[in-house]
Amino acid sequence: MKKILIIAAVFLFIVLLTNLANRVPADDATGTSFSLKAQKVVACSSKEIVLVDPHQKATRLDKDESWPDCSSFQSNQVQDFYLSRGEKTHFLGFEKTVWWRKAM
């Protein structure tokens, strides 16, 4: 009888810990990489950047300290941006987009 009570208590303790652990919110998706292809820079400041795709859909991003100076981006050039999510958008890199993606 004593063994059954100990096993039941351990089982309930494990269930209680599991329940508490499931209530803790998951970390946000920091570090998740993504890319924005065929984008033009239409506005740039020290805190944010606005990109426009070929379908004229604008994307506004809050910048962190990893972004290069705004003069690095030419407003008439179509570029692919490689970014990472976080509290603010982290800059990983950019390159001139390929010719066939501009027409899409």
Q: Which residues pair with 60 in a beta bridge?
A: 50
Could you tell me the pLDDT band of residue 26, with boundaries at 50, 70 and 90?
A: low
Q: How confident is the model at residue 86 (pLDDT cuts 50, 70, 90)?
A: confident
pLDDT at 39 over 80: yes
Its CATH architecture, for the domain 33-102, is Beta Barrel (2.40)
| pLDDT (0 to 100) of residue 27 | 57
pTM: 0.65
Report the run of H or E that residue 33 belongs to, with start and end. Answer: strand 33-44
pLDDT at residue 25 above 80?
no
Q: Output the pLDDT for position 3.
A: 92
Domain ranges of the chain: 33-102
Distances (CA, A) of 5 to 14, 15, 18: 14, 15, 20
pLDDT over 70 at 29, yes or no? no
Secondary structure percentages of the chain, helix, strand, coil, to 5: 30, 35, 35
The pLDDT of residue 103 is above 80: no
Q: Which residue has the higher pLDDT, 69 or 22?
A: 69
